[in-house]
């Protein structure tokens, strides 16, 4: 964040005791605003590290997906202008867990192989956003892959120790 302000320094005449502080805060969407308004949450203060010369480093690690603002103060006076940051999910993932993380869309899951790729739940199973695929309960089925819910239907499970198969009657 560019700062057009004299930085604290000691001189022969007097010591400059002003401190650099930095913080970020989220913008919380107000109900009924339709994406056009919001209120700022409380500031979360972060460390400011001296990097050498006239450079200071501020590391912001947002805890939520959404829009936040970062600002820097010198001795209580805001320097520069705050910047707005958009914290987004990587391509292919959606906001999950109330904005605390990213996950696969409903009807998909992420395997534990480290690939970070969402795969479709198999026929006869379903998943919530960011969840694992679960088998449909008895008398319920998901006649297609990528299901986000199981439907009440006349399903027949054929199960042997080697496999489980879902038979869904055809619609007339």
pLDDT tens-digit map of 56-100: 888 888 888 988 888 988 888 888 788 888 889 999 899 988 888
Structural contact between residues 44 and 25, judged by C-beta atoms closer than 8 angstroms: yes
Number of structural domains found in the chain: 2
Domain stop point among 87, 121, 144: 87
Least Cα distance to 119 among 93, 143, 142, 141 occurs for 93
* 11 occurs within a structural domain: no
What is the per-residue pLDDT for 30? 58
* 9 occurs within a structural domain: no
HSE of 31, CA atoms in CB hemisphere, 13 A: 0
Domain stop point among 42, 68, 87: 87
Whether residue 83 sits in one domain with residue 104 = no
Whether residue 44 sits in one domain with residue 98 = no
Confidence of residue 13 (pLDDT cuts 50, 70, 90): low
Average pLDDT over residues 128-134: 90
Domain that includes residue 128, residue range? 94-167
Whether residue 67 sits in one domain with residue 100 = no
Domain stop point among 37, 70, 87: 87
pTM: 0.58
Whether residue 58 sits in one domain with residue 116 = no
* 139 occurs within a structural domain: yes
Q: Which long-range contacts (CB under 8 A, 24 or more apart) does 78-81 make?
A: 79/3, 79/4, 79/5, 80/1, 80/2, 80/3, 80/4, 80/5
Query: Which structure tokens are listed for 19?
Result: 């401190």
Confidence of residue 154 (pLDDT cuts 50, 70, 90): low
Whether residue 101 sits in one domain with residue 83 = no
Q: Which long-range contacts (CB under 8 A, 24 or more apart) does 73-82 make?
A: 73/20, 73/21, 73/22, 74/5, 74/7, 74/8, 74/18, 74/19, 74/20, 75/8, 75/17, 75/18, 75/19, 79/3, 79/4, 79/5, 80/1, 80/2, 80/3, 80/4, 80/5, 82/1
Whether residue 48 sits in one domain with residue 108 = no
Whether residue 146 sits in one domain with residue 101 = yes
CA distance 121 to 86: 30
Cα 93 from chain centroid? Answer: 9
Whether residue 98 sits in one domain with residue 57 = no
């Amino acid at each position: 964040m560019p700062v057009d302000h004299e930085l604290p320094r000691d001189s022969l005449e007097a010591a400059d005791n002003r401190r650099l502080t930095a913080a970020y805060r989220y913008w919380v969407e107000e109900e009924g605003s339709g994406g056009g308004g919001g209120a700022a949450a409380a500031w979360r203060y972060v460390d400011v590290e001296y990097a050498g010369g006239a450079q200071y480093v501020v590391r912001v690690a947002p805890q939520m997906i959404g829009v936040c603002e970062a600002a820097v103060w010198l001795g209580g006076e805001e320097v520069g202008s705050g910047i707005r940051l958009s914290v987004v999910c990587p391509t292919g993932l959606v906001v999950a867990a109330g904005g605390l993380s990213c996950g696969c869309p409903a009807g998909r899951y992420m395997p534990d192989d480290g690939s970070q790729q969402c795969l479709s739940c198999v026929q006869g199973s379903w998943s919530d956003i960011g969840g694992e695929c679960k088998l449909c309960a008895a008398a319920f089925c998901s006649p297609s892959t990528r299901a986000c819910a199981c439907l009440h239907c006349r399903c027949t499970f054929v199960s042997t120790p080697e496999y489980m198969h879902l038979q869904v009657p055809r619609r007339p």
